[in-house]
Amino acid sequence: MKIKQTPLVILNFKTYLESTGEKGRDLAKALEEVSEETGISMVAAPQGADLWRLSREVEIPVLAQHIDPVDAGGHTGSMLAECAMAAGAAGTLINHSEQRMQLADIDNVVSKMNSMDMTSVVCTNNIQTSAAAAALNPDFVAIEPPELIGSGIPVSQAEPEVVEGSVAAIKDINPQVKVLCGAGISTGDDMKAALELGSEGVLLASGIILASDPKQALLDLVSKI
């Protein structure tokens, strides 16, 4: 089932210990509680080994962090789209800065997601790659300049022209594609600024995961929208 409701908050669990196993379950529960309390759509992107469990313990959507451009067969160590779907994933992140992919492989996974009615979130790093990604017909493009990831400096403030330019380029090529803003997002001011620049949500990680109180950090994140 495609994820459509916006504004949207996607939390990438990455491989932090604070978002692994039991702590990952607690984090997903916090996302679910904040979604219920605020009406803002929240999505968890846990590690592959946690997909099955979390998809059954929370009602919010869960995404795979990565799916490989492979078909069923001899691909030891790969993440198969059909396996992610069977584990409860609603879709996947694609081409994250920590898991870059070739253009043909991005196209392969986006096409597979569309054929399976799953959600595709293609991560990009500048206006040019955002435009190229939009042509592949994903559901979302998440703009994340890699130098700002984990920096605590939000792209919406440090490089607002990248967000605005990406939104314009994406909508010019494919008006159906929704734009997310990532890199450094952690506060209510960050998310408010991202939405004002034309994005329809945020993709974030460490600012919430490493917070002393992740649920309160999430409440603060959506407090100004």
Q: Which residues are catalytic?
A: 96, 144
Helix (H) or strand (E) holding 202: strand 201-204
Instruction: Please report, in angstroms and rounded to a whole number, the separation of the first and last CA atoms in the chain.
Output: 26
Tokens of 128: 């040019």
> Exposed/middle/buried for 32, CB within 10 Å: 0-12, 13-18, 19+?
middle
The dihedral built from the CA positions of residue 51, 80, 65 and 177, taken in this order, carries a sign that is negative
Helix ranges restricted to H, 48-119: 51-57, 81-86, 103-115
**CB-side neighbour CA atoms (13 Å) of 159:** 21
Helix (H) or strand (E) holding 217: helix 214-221
Please enumerate in sequence order all residues whose Cβ is within 8 A of that of 127, keeping only pairs 6 or more positions apart, or say none.
162, 165, 166, 169
Alpha-carbon span 11 to 218, nearest angstrom: 10
